[in-house]
Structure 1
Amino acid sequence: MVTQLLAHGTGEAAAFPVDITYALIGGSWALAISFLVLAFAWKSPRLGPDKHVAVLPGLTRLADSPVLRTALGVLGIAVAVGAVTTGFLARDEHDNPLVGAFFIWLWAGLVPTSLLFGPVGRFLSPVRTLHRWGSAAVGRPPRRGLLDYPQWLGRWPAAAGLFAFVWLELAVVEKGFGAVAWWCAAYLVITAVGAVVFGDTWFSRAEPFEVYSATIATLSPLGRDRSTRMLVLRNPLRGLSDYGTWPGAVAVIAVLLGSTAFDAWSATHSAVGIPARTAILAAFILGVGATFCLATMATGGVTPAQRRAIPGEMAHTLIPIAVGYLVAHYAKYFVEDGQVVLHSWLKAVGLGTPAMWTPFTDHPTALSVLAVAAIIVGHLLAVVAAHDAALRILPRRRHLTGQLALMLLMVGYTFTGLWLLFGG
């Protein structure tokens, strides 16, 4: 059943052959030592977005070609229509192609594709594609809406949409075809209205899955040169500055990070109802956001206005941690259980039988090593990004002392994340 696959991406923590004590001590010490090395060896900002390894003109022409973009848009529409159609055809309420495509192919699948290829969510979005075609049909530029998108709104709608998704995924225990179909219907109405009112700016600022993909894509080795818009090969940490400092920037990352922490916690605390799970999920997310804001603002030598701006200016430093948790929690979920979804699609249209299908074999050692490595590497990259950002943002006399609270918080995130990953 698909719903059996939605409990926890990494599987049973007790099956991990990695010793939790070594993981906790090693991860915490790795961060502390990295911070000390950076403090003495990295004295000026180095991670600006203006440098890259190579320019890729041929790949730029391919990526920008109308044929490829149209093909990706058609693919997104075809998968969406196919998921809904086979969802209605499936007899079982839970072993359902729409449910699997929604939670596994969409949510988990956007992580590796965005890391490898950049913000693919915007090109695969069926609603964005239909909006672009509709605008062309009436002779109206897609960017033009009835109103200008307000700056103060920022990414708050995207954060709210992401919370609605993780609530359905993690707080609702029984999430069969009906629940997913109603969620998608509400999403379609809200997204369509937003696009009409605010133009395609709504997608890049407020549409949850596009913002989700773009956030992950800031760590992609593929990026765009800001002046020429050519595709370039870059140090992934240089792409973090593409995230920007819009209102709600911290909230988006807090939802991603807090929800994966709740996912790990809920693997051993499933016997609670939806109201309690909703409250605990919200507490995890608010805890991440509040502790990050307090840690980044715990510095002297700045004005009150500058202090309030620091969390938004450093929000991008949490992205490697969030991506590390996403990889750790959903690698098995996508690779193995994604095949189950394909089987459910084939079965719904009468093309698949149990005898035809051989699932991918579980590899607990490889999965556990990947999970621990993803979390530790994500935190190490976050320490580097935070140190570089502090050198740019904080007064010179506070370059080191202004980072101490955030450094301690990241060690706490590492310890807590690994502890939850191994089942508490």
Structure 2
Amino acid sequence: MTVLAHGVGSRTDLPLPLGLALYGAGAAILVSFTVLLLFWRRPRLGDAASGHPLPAWVQRAADSAPLRRGLQAVALAVAVLVLAVALAGPDDTADNLAPWVLYVTFWVGLVPVSLLLGPVWRVLNPLRLLARGLRVLTGPPRGADRLPALGLWPAAGSLLAFVWLELVYPGRSEPVAVAVFLAAHAVVHLAAAAWFGEGWFARGDGFEVYSAVLGRLSVVGRRDDGVVVVRSPLTNAMAGPDSPGLAAVVVVLLGSTGFDGLSRTAWWQTGPGAAGDTASGTVGLVACTALVAVLYLLGTRLSGRLGRLPLGPQPRLYAASVVPIAVGYTVAHYFSLLALDGQTTWILASDPFGTGADLFGTAADVVDLRAVSPDVIAWVQVGAVVLGHVVGVLLAHEKALRVAPRAPASDQLPLVLVMVLFTVAGLGLLFGF
């Protein structure tokens, strides 16, 4: 098989006219902004204290320590199995379960699960269980008081390390590479948790923070008193804290998906990325991430200056408005991968060690490429990008009304223009243009 930029698998191209998608998307953003200026003149979304409480048994289950530990134990058993398969399973990537579990079922599957249920990896993370057990040996965390000052910056670095492996490292699909990553990830974060305490995972574990960022657009959330509630995803997005480093996390997600699209273009494959080496890929990933960061900082700083806001907090204040954009890009880039190549995980799970077993009766199955049509994939991809940007504009407008209620709405134009640029560029790269 051919191993492409997602670690394993491939992506279906869009069967839609490029011009139609680009002009339609840009127009949707500008029209939505105009409508907001005319009809959304005061904050309308709920706050962290809003929401409809779920039944008491749901609350008890969500807060049950034994249930969480049981789920973490199951996740740990699966992780150990994947590590064992990576080390002792088939040598060929196409037949080894581990790369498919890491890059497709886990990394991509975390998106729909978190969008539906909220920050699920915070509940399932097996490293939390291990850290709790190791505390007997390591003693109380000595650096717990320093953890709040870190914000989410460590998670941004953790995510950047993973997307580098997924998108840049030439041997990323080799089972041994998966094994090394899983072991290194566990060691690094367990060591950090021993120093900073279990709270480290909510700030430093890229996967847990990624799930939490996605979960900001779930209908399930928590009020500021800890009660589990159902509320609008827009309210959830605004109710989350504007933590330092949140903007960096979102920038990494946008920059990595941008590089993923860029790496598929003919210009990249015949030019800077022709050698397919680590150096060119690393430069490309860093450059895409830096470009997104510069554009985002420029848009938020200009909007903040026009609105006469203090110089410091603009990137952090508006980070929540970029979350839907990052989610839209993520869905657009990974939808077909999960729908089509995600089937491979369940096929290989019947015979994880290549011994001829057929545990679930799926060992002889083949991937059904007709499960999702190219047209459906196309509309989901374009729709995800456009909807993500429209929601982003709405959230940015809501945030501006909250932090600068007397400022003219036109002060938001720099950030809106940056969002339009992200839309056009994102769809262009999605087309491989």
Q: 1:242 to 1:213 in 2, by over 3 A?
A: farther
Q: TM-score, normalised by structure 1?
A: 0.91
Contact 1:343-1:357 within 8 A present in 2 as well: yes
AA at the equivalent of 1:351: A
**CA distance in 1: counterparts of 2:284 and 2:168, whole angstroms:** 9
**CA distance in 2: counterparts of 1:258 and 1:9, whole angstroms:** 21
Q: TM-score, normalised by structure 2?
A: 0.90
Query: 2:381 aligns to what?
Result: 371
Q: Deviations over 1:275-312 (max 9, x none)?
A: 111111111111111111111110436668x1221111
Selected match of 2:233 from 233, 236, 240: 236
Alignment of 1:70 onto 2:69: yes
Q: 1:10 to 1:235 in 2, by over 3 A?
A: farther
Query: 2:148 aligns to what?
Result: 151
- Which has the larger displacement, 337-346 or 274-283? 337-346
Provide structure 2 residue ranges, at least 5 long, that are not aligned to the other structure: none
Q: Deviations over 1:142-198 (max 9, x none)?
A: xx5211234332111111110000000001122112222222222111101111000
Q: 1:244 to 1:51 in 2, by over 3 A?
A: closer
Query: 1:401 aligns to what?
Result: 410
Query: 1:171 aligns to what?
Result: 168
Supply the RMSD in Å over aligned alpha carbons. 2.3
AA at the equivalent of 1:265: L
Q: 1:72 to 1:248 in 2, by over 3 A?
A: same
Q: Deviations over 1:85-125 (max 9, x none)?
A: 12223222423222111111221111011001111111221
Alignment of 1:54 onto 2:52: yes
Q: 1:301 to 1:415 in 2, by over 3 A?
A: closer
Q: Deviations over 1:351-377 (max 9, x none)?
A: 249872132334111111111111111
Contact 1:3-1:174 within 8 A present in 2 as well: no
Selected match of 1:311 from 315, 333, 345: 315
Contact 1:7-1:267 within 8 A present in 2 as well: no
Alignment of 1:342 onto 2:350: no
Alignment of 1:358 onto 2:357: no
Query: 1:252 aligns to what?
Result: 249
Contact 1:154-1:205 within 8 A present in 2 as well: yes
Query: 1:39 aligns to what?
Result: 37
Contact 1:53-1:233 within 8 A present in 2 as well: yes
AA at the equivalent of 1:393: V
**CA distance in 1: counterparts of 2:402 and 2:208, whole angstroms:** 29
Alignment of 1:111 onto 2:111: yes
AA at the equivalent of 1:73: Q
**CA distance in 2: counterparts of 1:327 and 1:301, whole angstroms:** 33
For residue 336 of structure 1, give the secondary structure of its aligned residue in structure 2: helix
For residue 3 of structure 1, give the secondary structure of its aligned residue in structure 2: coil
Contact 1:123-1:129 within 8 A present in 2 as well: no
Contact 2:54-2:228 within 8 A present in 1 as well: yes
Q: CA deviation at 1:68?
A: 2.9
Contact 1:8-1:267 within 8 A present in 2 as well: no
**CA distance in 2: counterparts of 1:267 and 1:124, whole angstroms:** 34
- Equivalences, count: 415
**CA distance in 2: counterparts of 1:179 and 1:7, whole angstroms:** 11
- Which has the larger displacement, 332-341 or 400-409? 332-341
Contact 2:5-2:263 within 8 A present in 1 as well: no
Q: 1:245 to 1:50 in 2, by over 3 A?
A: closer
Query: 2:428 aligns to what?
Result: 419
Identical aligned residues as a percent? 37
Q: Deviations over 1:42-69 (max 9, x none)?
A: 1111224246452102322222234432
For residue 223 of structure 1, give the secondary structure of its aligned residue in structure 2: strand
Q: CA deviation at 1:126?
A: 1.2
Contact 2:247-2:315 within 8 A present in 1 as well: yes
Query: 1:101 aligns to what?
Result: 101
